[in-house]
Amino acid sequence: MKKSLIIFVLLVCFSASLFSQVAPVAPVVTVIRLPEPDLNGSISLEQAIKNRRNIHQFTAELLKVNQISQLCWSAQGITDPNRGLRAAPSAGDLYPMQLYVALPDGLYLYSPQDNALEKKISGDVRPILSAASFGQRVVQNSPCVFVISGSVIKLEARYRGKGEKFAYLEAGHIAQNIHLQAVSLGLGSVPIGVFEPKSVAGICKLPENLEPLYLVAVGYPAARPSLEPVVAPAPVVSPPPVKPSSDIRNKRVVIFVLDKYFDDTEYFDIEDTFQIAGIQPVVASSVVGEINGIDRNSITATVLFKDVKVDDYDAFVFVDVPVSARNYFNDKNILNLVRQANEKNKILAAISTAPAIFANAGIVKGRNVTSLASERSKLIRAGAEWKNTSLEINGNIITAADTQNSRESRVPKRFGTAVLRLLRQQPD
């Protein structure tokens, strides 16, 4: 009897242990849904800029949830739901940043898509963040610390050798938005750039692809500034409106890229030139989706060659093509499009071997053009005045020859700048 009782007890214990392994209790995820941002503040942008100061002493008063919401939105909130654009600019609209918020009860991650905070760590991490910031007490004493983190790897995949630079630039954009929003809320802030990155990453348990770039401490200033709301001025009689000049950011550019083995360096230098001017070019190819260049860098084509419409774009740009794919120069859809664009005096630009497309389309007769030497005879036979130069602009046609074909070459950027120059000259 005693032996049977022992066996029964052992079976019960084993069963309990088994069930505890098979059906663990899921951890509770704390998510705070934030209120919608206020888009009609009472403080002007000019007043916020004028009154922004680095604040090193804060009161113990905690921030209200609507203030935290407003600060998160100004840093990374979605401002154009249709296109997914955010409050701070990002190179190539890649948005490689993650915004963490350290509050007295824990560390939260901001979700721009949901406008919500998800708790990642319970407990106050501000004291150890202060230690990782070489003992800067303002980090521990402020009621809220923003940890701006980013993925240099994500940027580097798109912008070779420039990923770190673009990550820090974007962190600066985000921080400035936080600073100005803080002023408009009657708060103060101070940026923290001196800290041990590995320690901060460990404290915040950042994923391997993220690294901390900037900290911003926010709170109620110990010495409250006097900031008067904007008072609407008396209405005045305005002169007749002057028609504004053309905004180049509204121009549409399409770049024609082969579906494989295109020149990565040349393409990204040209694209960078457009993006800096505020233009996000469309990529056309023989396939839709991800395509890879010679150096295995990838871009995304969103439209097929045959679906490009001449009236949808202001400029048509053609990049270099490898020898093995020269049949692309005779694509009927492309040649017809080039002819139509030329008839409508649209900007046509081609670099290296690509000017041969213009020769095959029959639009270079009597025009000064350039190209790589391999295409010289073809252009001359088509009636062009071939020049041994790096860049030629003749009316609406731009041609360039990147003979150096390296990351040090400045020709692709000069080529892109020439396209921008003609775009600015176009009528509205």
CA distance 172 to 25: 41
Which range of 15-29, 127-141, 243-257 scores highest in mean pLDDT? It is 127-141
Q: Which amino acid is at 190?
A: V
d(CA 195, CA 213): 9
Query: Where residue 220 falls among pLDDT bands split at 50, 70, 90?
Result: very high
Q: 176: Cβ–Cβ under 8 A, 6 or more apart, which residues?
A: none
- Percent of the chain topping pLDDT 90: 68
Rounded to an integer, what distance in angstroms lies between the CA atom of residue 43 and that of residue 184? 6
CATH 3.40.109.10 domain locations along the chain: 31-219
- Rounded to 5 degrees, φ, ψ at 218 are -135, 145
Domain(s) of CATH 3.40.50.880: residues in the chain: 248-425
Question: If DSSP codes are grouped into helix, strand and coil, which group holds residue 11?
Answer: helix
Level-2 CATH architecture, domain 31-219 = 3-Layer(aba) Sandwich (3.40)
* AA identity, residue 258: L
DSSP class per residue in 350-373: EETTTHHHHHHHT--TT-EE---G
Tell me what pLDDT residue 24 has.
39
**Is the pLDDT at 22 greater than 70, yes or no?**
no
CB 217 within 8 A of CB 247: no
Following DSSP, what letter does each residue of 68-125 receive, concatenated? HHHHHHHHH-EEETTTTEESS--GGG---EEEEEEETTEEEEEETTTTEEEEEEES--
Give me the pLDDT at residue 227, please.
59
Measured in degrees and rounded to the nearest 5, phi and psi for residue 54 equal -75, 120
Cα(353)–Cα(318) distance, rounded to whole angstroms? 9
User: Of 9-23, 235-249, 270-284, which one has max mean pLDDT?
Assistant: 270-284
Which is it for strands 298-301 and 368-369: parallel, antiparallel or unpaired? unpaired
pLDDT digits (tens, 9 = 90+) for 98-127: 999 999 999 999 999 999 999 999 999 999
- Residue 272: which H helix or E strand, with range? helix 264-276
pLDDT band at 28 (very low <50, low <70, confident <90, very high): low
The answer to whether residue 12 scores a pLDDT higher than 50 is: no
CB contact at 8 A, 243 and 306: no
The pLDDT tens digits of the residues spanning 359-407 come to 999 999 999 999 999 999 999 999 999 999 999 999 999 999 987 755 5
Write the CA distances from 313 to 29, 203, 310, 413, integer angstroms. 47, 49, 6, 21
**Chain centroid offset of residue 403 CA:** 31
The whole-angstrom separation of Cα 324 and Cα 25 is 59
Q: pLDDT digits over 289-310, tens only? A: 988 887 777 889 999 999 999 9
At 15, the pLDDT band (50, 70, 90 cuts) reads very low
Strand-pair partners of 33? 116
Residue 184: its pLDDT value, please? 93
Confidence of residue 410 (pLDDT cuts 50, 70, 90): confident
Per-chain mean pLDDT for the chain: 86
The confidence band for 326, taking pLDDT boundaries of 50, 70 and 90, is low
pTM: 0.53
Q: How sure is the predictor about 249, in pLDDT bands with cuts at 50, 70 and 90? A: confident
Count the residues in the chain.
428
State the sign of the Cα–Cα–Cα–Cα dihedral 287, 402, 269, 369. Answer: negative
The three-class DSSP label of residue 424 is helix
Dist. CA 383–CA 365, nearest whole Å: 4
Distance in angstroms (rounded) separating the CA atoms of residues 247 and 316: 18
pLDDT in tens, 279-290: 999 999 989 998
What is the band of 6 on the pLDDT scale with cuts at 50, 70, 90? very low
CA-based torsion, 371, 374, 377, 379: positive or negative: negative
Given a contact cutoff of 8 angstroms between Cβ atoms, the answer to whether 411 and 273 are in contact is no
Under the banding of pLDDT at 50, 70 and 90, the label for residue 324 is low
Per-position b or e across 97-111, b if 16+ CB within 10 A of its CB:
bbbbbbbeebbbbbb
> Is 254 in contact with 318 (CB distance < 8 Å)?
no
Which segments of 166-249 are extended strands (E)? 188-192, 211-219
Higher pLDDT, 268 or 73: 73
Could you tell me which CATH number the domain at 248-425 has? 3.40.50.880
CB atoms closer than 10 angstroms to residue 88:
23
For the chain, percent of residues with pLDDT exceeding 70: 86
Residue 11: predicted pLDDT: 41
Spatial separation of the C-alpha atoms in residues 265 and 95, rounded to whole Å? 22
Angle at 103 between CA 101 and CA 109, to 5 degrees: 30
* Lowest pLDDT segment from 39-43, 203-207, 316-320, 350-354: 39-43
- By the 8 A CB rule, do 353 and 374 touch? yes
Checking if the pLDDT of 408 tops 80, the result is no
When pLDDT is averaged across residues 251-271 and rounded to a whole number, the result is 88
- What the block records as the tokens of 48 is 């916020």
